[in-house]
Amino acid sequence: MGTSVWMPGVRAFACAGLLACATPEQPPRQDSTVITVEPPAEAPVAPAVVENRLGRMQLLNEPGGGRCTVEGDPQVARRYTYEGEYPVRVVKVEVGDGGRSFAPQMLEVSMRQNRSGYDETETIYVLFTPAGGIERGQRRYFTTETPPLRQDGALLASDSLNARQLAASMLQYCRARAR
């Protein structure tokens, strides 16, 4: 018997013996050998891995050398804002009602710096329970690089303790300078 090469979509055939040849309309006979050539499969393109940048900036470090402002009368103020110089860092502490065992109700810290020609900003938001536990919190990071990068995520493992300590110390720091 003959040997044929069957290549779907290709009109060239090699036949050894007329009885074994196949045509596109007629498949090869049972007693012939068929070699099928498939086009190579395209490798799947893996998505680009983006480095997690949440937590890169030291948002929850203790203050040093900045200035505090108080909204309203310092004796009954509800919001204290600290601004540091470099890198630019703004810390806001909002105080809850007088019945709380942990006075800070909310902490918001934002830091901005220039890195290799683009700005990057990271912000943390924390809401505290009256006893000082974390009710909820979030981190956000974004850059002005091209294309811009934006990441949102949960608090890091070390954020709970550090946020609580920073909120309490910022409140004390700003109250001392507001009098």
* Helix segments in 92-149, DSSP class H: none
Q: Report the pLDDT value the prediction gives residue 16, as an integer from 0 to 100.
A: 47
Q: Report the pLDDT value the prediction gives residue 44, as an integer from 0 to 100.
A: 74
Q: Report the pLDDT value the prediction gives residue 65, as an integer from 0 to 100.
A: 77
Nearest partner of 170 among 122, 112, 105, judged by Cα:
105
Tell me the pTM.
Answer: 0.68
Q: Report the pLDDT value the prediction gives residue 25, as an integer from 0 to 100.
A: 62
* pLDDT tens digits, 13-62: 444 444 455 555 666 566 666 666 777 777 777 666 767 888 888 888 88
Q: Spell out, as residue ranges, where the chain has pLDDT lower than 50.
A: 1-7, 9-19
Q: Report the pLDDT value the prediction gives residue 74, as an integer from 0 to 100.
A: 58
Token reading at 115 = 């890195």
Q: Report the pLDDT value the prediction gives residue 145, as an integer from 0 to 100.
A: 84
Task: Strands of the chain (E only): list them.
Answer: 67-71, 79-84, 88-95, 104-115, 118-128, 134-143, 150-153
Within 13 Å and on the Cβ side, how many CA atoms surround 74? 11
Question: Torsion angle, CA of 39/44/45/46, rounded to 10 degrees?
Answer: -160
